């Protein structure tokens, strides 16, 4: 799905990603962990085409990511939900598929209502984001990302703005979404979730991938002092 080669991202003179190599296979559930400022969000934003590489290459489904036309094939979910506050829940969810002419309005609404029913928020379709709890907002943001049938969803700390009870409901939905076989790449500090969810964990430090492997390998047998230290906290 993704093939990343020697990815470098600089902001001004500061090198934030330092020659990242990464392969993501179809259906993988990748969790990216690492200290603040290590470049996790920047990497995710490059994979989501929100940032352009300074050098190196990212292929998505065997094509240069800068040349893909079907941008709806990459979905994103952010810590701060990024819902449109002036639109209702239903409008938020149906906006992208209608605007990109992926489906007509009726089909989009029907699909959105099905999803809302699945996450038990069908009574909120006409509510505005301000009327929802944080957990509800994030679940709406997740089904919004699913509406265009993306091949991959990128999550940047989807639960770190939430209280404990709400964290669980969002993580449960992510596990539900995972069952469909979709590729997921998740930046999170929820290490218990990561242990059970991930097919592969990536530990980033100072703009590099310091270790990667199965959750068992990384959590039970960390190789670097940096990861050992990180896991202690």
Q: Binds 158, which of Mg ion, ligand ATP, none (CB < 5 to 8 A, cut-off by type)?
A: none
Element (H, E) at 75: strand 74-78
39 binds, among Mg ion, ligand ATP, none (CB under 5 to 8 A by kind): ligand ATP
Exactly one of 2, 29, 42, 200 binds ligand ATP (CB under 6 A); which one?
42
Minimum CB separation of residue 32 from ligand ATP in Å reads 8
Give the shortest CB-162-to-Mg ion separation in angstroms.
16
φ/ψ of residue 14, rounded to 5: -85, 125
Q: Which residue has the tokens 């969000």?
A: 41
Which x/- pattern, by CB under 6 A, does the window 10-29 give for ligand ATP?
A: -x----x-------------
Cα 182 to Cα 26, 31, 60, 100, 149: the distances in Å are 8, 14, 15, 21, 9
Does the protein bind ligand ATP through residue 84 (CB under 6 A)? no
37 binds, among ligand ATP, Mg ion, none (CB under 5 to 8 A by kind): ligand ATP
Among 6, 25, 37, 216, binds ligand ATP (CB under 6 A): 37
Beta partners for residue 154, in sequence order: 76, 185
Tell me the three state secondary structure of residue 233: coil
- Strand, helix or coil for residue 202: strand
Shortest distance (Å) from residue 79 CB to Mg ion: 8
Closest to Mg ion by CB, 41 or 159 = 41
Instruction: Give the SS3 label for residue 25.
Output: coil
| Closest alpha carbon to 24 in 3, 45, 41 | 3
Quick check: 41 binds Mg ion (CB under 5 A)?
yes
Beta carbon nearer to ligand ATP, 125 or 190? 190
Instruction: Return the residue matching tokens 């939430």.
Output: 162
Distance CA 87, CA 127 (A): 9
Q: Shortest approach of Mg ion to residue 127 CB, angstroms? A: 29
Closest CA to 231 of 184, 221, 162: 221
In the structure encoding, which two tokens stand for residue 224, read together? 């670097």
Asked whether position 192 contacts ligand ATP by CB under 6 A, the answer is: no
Indicate the pairing of strand 183-187 with strand 152-156: parallel
The residue range among 37-45, 100-108, 173-181, 206-214 that interacts with Mg ion, by the rule CB under 5 A, is: 37-45
Under the rule (CB under 6 A), what is the footprint of ligand ATP?
11, 16, 34, 36-42
Binding site for Mg ion (CB under 5 A): 41
């Amino acid at each position: 799905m993704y093939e990343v080669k020697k990815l470098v991202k600089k902001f001004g003179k500061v090198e934030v990603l330092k020659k990242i190599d990464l392969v993501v296979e179809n259906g993988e559930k990748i969790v990216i962990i690492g200290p603040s400022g290590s470049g996790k969000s920047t990497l995710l934003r490059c994979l989501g085409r929100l940032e352009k590489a300074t050098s190196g290459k990212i292929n998505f489904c065997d094509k240069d990511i800068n040349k893909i036309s079907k941008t709806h094939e990459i979905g994103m979910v952010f810590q701060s939900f990024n819902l449109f506050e002036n639109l209702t829940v239903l409008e938020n969810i149906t906006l992208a598929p209608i605007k990109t002419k992926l489906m007509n309005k009726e089909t989009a609404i029907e699909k959105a209502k099905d999803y809302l029913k699945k996450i038990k928020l069908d009574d909120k379709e006409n509510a505005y984001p301000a009327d929802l709890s944080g957990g509800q907002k994030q679940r709406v943001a997740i089904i919004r990302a699913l509406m265009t049938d993306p091949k991959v969803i990128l999550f940047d700390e989807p639960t770190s703005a939430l209280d404990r009870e709400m964290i669980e409901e969002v993580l449960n939905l992510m596990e539900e979404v995972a069952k469909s076989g979709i590729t997921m790449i998740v930046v999170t500090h929820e290490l218990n979730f990561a242990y059970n969810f991930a097919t592969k964990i990536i530990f980033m430090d100072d703009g590099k991938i310091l270790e990667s492997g199965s959750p068992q390998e990384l959590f039970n047998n960390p190789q670097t002092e940096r990861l050992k230290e990180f896991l202690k906290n």
